Amino acid sequence: MQRFQHYIDGGFADAVNGFDSLDPATGAAWAQMPAATPADVDRAVAAAERAFFAPDWALMTATARGKLLLRLADLIAENAQHLAQLETRDTGKIIRETSAQIAYVAEYYRYYAGLADKIEGAHLPIDKPDVEVWLRREPIGVVAAVVPWNSQLFLSAVKIGPALAAGCTVVLKASEDGPAPMLEFARLFDKAGFPPGVLNVITGGPEVGATLTAHPKVAHVAFTGGPETARHILRNSAENLASTSLELGGKSPFIVFDDADLDSAVNAQVSGIFAASGQSCVAGSRLVVHEGIKDAFLARLSEKAEAVVIGAPGDMATEVGPLCTARQCDTAERLVAQSVAQGARLITGGKRLERDGFYFPPTILDCDGVPDAASLSNEFFGPVLSVVSFKDEAEAIEIANNTQFGLASGLFTRNLTRAHRMIRAIRAGIVWVNTYRAVSPIAPFGGHGLSGHGREGGIEAALDYTRVKAVWLRTSDDPIPDPFVMR
């Protein structure tokens, strides 16, 4: 079996404890991972704090930080296929997706490399004579970044990139469900030439994340995961008063009007829910379709769903691979059965496949007339689509917003004025119109409600890793009056 190590203070180290990582395609152990102890967490945070104040990082120019990020981006691009193979082996994501996604991850680091020396302060037209006041944006400090196993190189890039561009240091906790790509990424980071301690990568169970996010030396917590874990993080932040950015789950509506281009909408829906085996926080898991085209739409959709190639994730012909863990199969099967018992109609799929590994097929549930169906309110993190129809625009909005989540949404219509009305009315951080699951380092990403707060990507993300310092400079040579009272 392969063995992986933690990366702390510029060096690689074994942990006292370890655990086996399972190959989702077979269910068999393939690698030994390190499990961090509280002492390991403390050592990683201490290294990040030292690096934050050390002259070789604290006094490094923003332009020089950008050049290091560019070097890192080049290394990711050069090693994208190797990283993709590791991610596929450790998480079950298909190789055709990990290959494309990781190659694009390099663009996020290039974006933040270019942004590093463009994080600017401001001059204030202050209302007092003989005084100049300006604002400096300074790095916030040590950042605890906690990422899940799915799309982890992307989800860490939108934290590490802006944090380092701003001048922070980072302790990254990789998910215990598939940490290999992040532990291997640390080798590229080390090769890029950053000072020791600027980035530290550890892994382990929930107790590791709890220790890290509650650490008194942590100034900001950037988390991607589920709402329940986020609640624990917010409780932890009451102890260290760390600021937080939380990118959580979703139950995204995919709205199709009767004037939509059906071929495009069907293809986008297939990609939106069955790509990555549905293991995406922005999965379009609720199809909200006009009643006039529902039957025709479902006929095309189910035909495509049943034709999807399910197979080994390392095979380029595979379109849907296994789920990452056995418990995800259990959850999907349980919630589908519960929804059917409530009255939903199973169109296709619904039960795990009888083969080695954690395979669950593309599944479609018709939930018309069953507004309380379990599949409509729970995030599966699997390839399960729930379908409801609507009569008019008002009902479409009502259904779309009938969720505690607010991350993403999709809208298919040729009517431009309707699109603008819907964009305003849909309560979500992202609205894709006549497309779906498109991302870019230039555009912010995030939601509200149970989908969290804060944004990742774009300039806004970099600002989250800074704090503002107000500087007052008296320009008069006259003596300060005695007594001098500032107002």
Q: Please, are residues 458 and 446 in contact by the beta-carbon 8 Å criterion? A: no
Q: Is 281 a catalytic residue?
A: yes
Cβ 104 vs Cβ 111: under 8 Å: no
| Residue 97 CA, distance from chain mean position | 16
Q: Which two tokens stand for residue 159?
A: 């934290």
Rg of the Cα atoms in the chain: 24
Give the CA distances from residue 34 to residues 174, 206, 215, 337, in Å, rounded to whole numbers and listed in that order.
Answer: 11, 14, 20, 37
First-to-last C-alpha distance (Å) of the chain: 68
Angle of helix 180-192 versus helix 62-78 axis, rounded to 10 = 130
Catalytic residue among 49, 247, 319, 379: 247
d(CA 472, CA 133): 5
**CA–CA distance, 250 with 279 (Å, rounded to integer):** 11
Angle at 98 between CA 95 and CA 104, to 5 degrees: 140
| Nearby residues of 303 by Cβ (< 8 Å), 6 or more positions away | none
Burial class (CB in 10 A: 0-12, 13-18, 19+), 240: middle
393 among known catalytic residues: no
Residue 160 burial by CB count (10 A; 0-12/13-18/19+): exposed, middle or buried? buried
Point out the catalytic residue in the list 168, 281, 329, 367: 281
Cα–Cα distances in Å, from 135 out to 138, 142, 473? 10, 21, 11
Give the active site residues: 247, 281
